[in-house]
Structure 1
Amino acid sequence: MHNISYTNGLHEVADNVFAYLQPDGGWGWSNAGLIASEWSSLLVDTLFDLKLTQNMLDSMSSVTSAHPINVLVNTHANGDHCYGNSLIGGDNGAQIITTNAAAAEMEAIPPSALEALMQIDLGEVTNSYIQDAFGSFEFCDVELPPPDRTFSGELQLDVGGRTVELIEVGPAHTSGDLLVYLPDAATVFCGDILFINGTPIIWDGPVSNWIDACDRILGLEAEIIIPGHGPLTDTAGVTAVRDYLTFVDKECRERHASGQTATEVIAEIDLGSFKEWSEWERIAVNVHSIFREIEEDETIQSPIELFRKMADLKNSGS
């Protein structure tokens, strides 16, 4: 693990197993993966736009020319893990597989929604924050072909004789998160269950599911752990993510019980060393998600309001 440098591009992490890394791992700069067998390959996730995805596919061509990609697995429905799907799935032939929940989310929140978010006047602070997060990407020509196969629970695939296990762990980060585990290489692709050196963001929750997902990763005893964002990691990295989530959950529940509002918790919570992680301001979303869970609030959260809260918090620097 430690000899894989965190540099942009394709890295062979085990025999015919590759991680495609995109530093710095911030908003939209996600990782993907490739599992090759004797006669075919499985792609783990695409990237945030068509240009980035095409660059990735080009970098993989020395492998995929002999081992063509015939399966694409999306770890969840966030665009930085699926907006390049049309280049490999749909009319281009690879079978797209994801969870039932992720498939529903892909349909409910199309790429046009993110493009629209970029165009709305939300005030200087929020617009600047959203532009910094997503301005490097092109969403106007993105179309999402629907997944060809969906599942709940677990699904075992045969990729040219290699067993690949898909393990649903959502709802956690999103409604339909999954892990991609390759037993013969002791390798797991974790999607956004793992942000390494960056702050996790709870779009869905419950947070307990995410903590359980970290425990599931640890239980696999994988030697190679590829996060959705950030450098390759080990059990210490998984534990750090779990510790962050456990800390925030405990703080929220104790402060809620003492009568504090979510806004007060966001202003007062002391993140300690966790504030050194990039995008620390995601605490605003995480507190709101946990408060909604405590209060059994099932109203739809406005992405605009969540981005406004993160932008204001980062701008205040508190």
Structure 2
Amino acid sequence: MATNVTRTLTDLGDGLFAYIQGDGSWGWSNSGLVVSEGESLLVDTLFTGRLTRDMLDAYRRAAPEAETIDILVNTHANGDHTFGNALAGDARIIGSTACAEEMEERPAEVFAEMVRNWRNHGEIGAFLHETMGVRFDFSDVVHRPPTELFNGHKTIEVGGRTVELVELGPAHTRGDIVVHIPDAKTVFTGDILFSGGHPIIWAGPIDNWIKACDLILDWDIETVVPGHGPVGTKAELRHMRDYLIHTRNEATIRYEAGMSWEDAAWDIAFDQFDSWLDRERVVANVASIYRDLSHGRIAPPRPEIMRQMLRYRRGATCPHDEPCSCGAHGGGK
């Protein structure tokens, strides 16, 4: 497992901390900690047991209250935010109903088996191997889903401090929530925000994600901790909103012109987001938008989406197998 990625604990002040992993690319997610009057709340665990233990050790060195985690909140079901849950001891684990349902669809041990035996799992296995399997050791992951479920909104107390859990999915996944600490003017967004990286729409619709950005931007907040990438402010969230609107509008133009979803993914230019990581995710995003625009008539299966993401990632000049005479070479990329 690559452990040379820079992992940084940031003291946000007023009993809040963020644990930031590298540049936030595939699997390198963030977590958060809230402490008050001897109690603690952890926002998300990490992709493996080893990474989660390192993170918990860092929190304990920074805040004695983290010696015992009282509450763990999972912002969504993806393994890079949940596979370390078993290390939270006897903590209450809170998540949305949809988050828990998604976790049951592919438990941690099943994911680990797919990565270990990736050659037996077709395009999905190849994708998992190339983007994550070569970087992480999943031999120590354990399935432990949330035990307290909610829908919509939930208010909890941490050492007399109010913490608001707000469900904003389906967007990135079916069960996205954010963790809002009003008195600290801080929000932990989970993967509603990828800072400096292309987001990926596993669920959608994209309009829900845009609405989620709008809602958070209306809050009185100063600090925004993304699911991936560095700590920031509302500025990064506005940039994410701009990205989503750009992708939706450009994909819609191509859909209405009769262009295939694959060709549209290669054709859309992202000049103002040129420095963002993991550009291959545009393939999944355009596929999601086409599915919604066509009311499900165009619904690319997950293996095909992953196959095309790998082609994009590897620098293919169009979505078609060689030899190709589509004339689309050198488009938006």
The list of structure 1 runs, each at least 4 consecutive aligned residues, that deviate by more than 4 angstroms after superposition, is 298-302
Contact 1:130 1:307 in 2 (8 A): no
Contact 1:36 1:63 in 2 (8 A): no
1:10-42 alpha-carbon deviations (Å, 9 max, x no partner): 111121100001012100000000000112100
CA–CA distance in 2 between the matches of 1:299 and 1:98? Answer: 31
Residue 120 (structure 1) aligns with = 118
Contact 2:9 2:58 in 1 (8 A): yes
Q: State the AA in 2 paired with 1:98.
A: G
Residue 71 (structure 1) aligns with = 71
Residue 3 (structure 1) aligns with = none
Q: In the alignment, does 2:103 pair up with 1:101? A: no
Residue 172 (structure 1) aligns with = 171
Contact 1:265 1:287 in 2 (8 A): yes
Q: In the alignment, does 2:107 pair up with 1:110? A: yes
Contact 2:35 2:65 in 1 (8 A): no
**Cα drift, residue 300 of structure 1:** 7.9
Q: State the AA in 2 paired with 1:104.
A: E
Q: 1:51 to 1:33 in 2, by over 3 A?
A: same
Contact 1:188 1:225 in 2 (8 A): yes
Contact 2:200 2:282 in 1 (8 A): yes
CA–CA distance in 2 between the matches of 1:308 and 1:59? Answer: 38
Q: 1:265 to 1:66 in 2, by over 3 A?
A: closer
Q: 1:120 to 1:63 in 2, by over 3 A?
A: closer
Contact 1:75 1:178 in 2 (8 A): yes
Q: 1:263 to 1:132 in 2, by over 3 A?
A: closer
Alignment of 1:193-208 (within 5 A): 193-208=192-207
SS class of match (2:217): helix
CA–CA distance in 2 between the matches of 1:108 and 1:123? Answer: 18
**Cα drift, residue 305 of structure 1:** 2.6
Q: 1:233 to 1:298 in 2, by over 3 A?
A: farther
**Cα drift, residue 8 of structure 1:** 1.8
Q: 1:116 to 1:66 in 2, by over 3 A?
A: closer
Residue 281 (structure 1) aligns with = 280
Alignment of 1:49-60 (within 5 A): 49-60=48-59
**Cα drift, residue 134 of structure 1:** 3.4
Contact 2:85 2:145 in 1 (8 A): no
1:136-190 alpha-carbon deviations (Å, 9 max, x no partner): 2122332222311000100000111000000000000000000100011101000
Q: State the AA in 2 paired with 1:236.
A: A
CA–CA distance in 1 between the matches of 2:297 and 2:12? Answer: 41
Contact 1:207 1:290 in 2 (8 A): yes
SS class of match (2:274): helix
Q: 1:282 to 1:128 in 2, by over 3 A?
A: closer
Identity of aligned residues (%): 43
Residue 185 (structure 2) aligns with = 186
Residue 247 (structure 2) aligns with = 248
TM-score (norm 2): 0.87
Q: 1:8 to 1:146 in 2, by over 3 A?
A: closer
Q: 1:195 to 1:69 in 2, by over 3 A?
A: same
CA–CA distance in 2 between the matches of 1:246 and 1:259? Answer: 20
Residue 81 (structure 2) aligns with = 81
SS class of match (1:60): helix
Q: State the AA in 1 paired with 2:104.
A: E
More divergent stretch after superposition (132-141 vs 164-173): 132-141
Q: Give ranges in structure 1 of 5+ residues lacking alignment.
A: 1-5
CA–CA distance in 1 between the matches of 2:132 and 2:13? Answer: 32
SS class of match (1:276): coil
Residue 290 (structure 2) aligns with = 291
Q: In the alignment, does 2:232 pair up with 1:221? A: no
More divergent stretch after superposition (114-123 vs 154-163): 114-123
How many residues align structurally? Answer: 310
CA–CA distance in 1 between the matches of 2:292 and 2:285? Answer: 11
Q: State the AA in 1 paired with 2:13.
A: A
Q: State the AA in 2 paired with 1:101.
A: A
SS class of match (1:296): coil
CA–CA distance in 2 between the matches of 1:109 and 1:300? Answer: 21
CA–CA distance in 2 between the matches of 1:123 and 1:154? Answer: 39
SS class of match (1:251): helix
Residue 239 (structure 1) aligns with = 238
CA–CA distance in 2 between the matches of 1:239 and 1:224? Answer: 13
